[in-house]
Homo-oligomer: A and B are copies of this chain.
Amino acid sequence: MPFCADQLARLEPLWDAMLDHRFLRETRDGTISDERFAVWMRQDYLFVEAAIPFLAALLARAPRHHWEPLAGAIAALQKELKLFEERAQVVGVNLRGAPPSFTNHAYIQFLLATAFRASYAEAYTVLYTAEKAYHDSWKVVKQGIAQDSKWYPFVENWAGEEFAQYVSYLETELNALAEEAGPSERERMAEYFELTTKYEIAFWEMAATGEGWPAT
Contact of A117 among B52, B74, B116, B202 (CB under 8 A): B116
CA distance A182 to B189 in the complex (A): 14
Tell me whether A89 is interfacial, beta carbon within 8 Å.
no
Residues of B within 8 A of A180 (CB): 182-185
CA distance A62 to B118 in the complex (A): 9
Select from chain B the residue with minimum beta-carbon distance to A112.
Answer: B113
CA distance A53 to B110 in the complex (A): 15
Chain A interface residues (CB < 8 Å from chain B): 14, 17, 21, 49, 52-54, 56-57, 59-62, 64, 67-68, 70-71, 74-75, 78, 102-103, 105-106, 108-110, 112-120, 179-185, 195, 198, 201-202, 204-206, 211, 213-216
Known: A106-B102, A106-B106, A106-B110. A198 touches B182 (CB 8 A): no
Residues of B within 8 A of A21 (CB): 215
Q: Can you list 11 A-B pairs with a CB-CB distance of less than 8 A?
A: A53-B61, A53-B62, A53-B67, A71-B71, A105-B110, A112-B113, A113-B116, A116-B117, A182-B182, A202-B214, A211-B214
Select from chain B the residue with minimum beta-carbon distance to A178.
Answer: B182
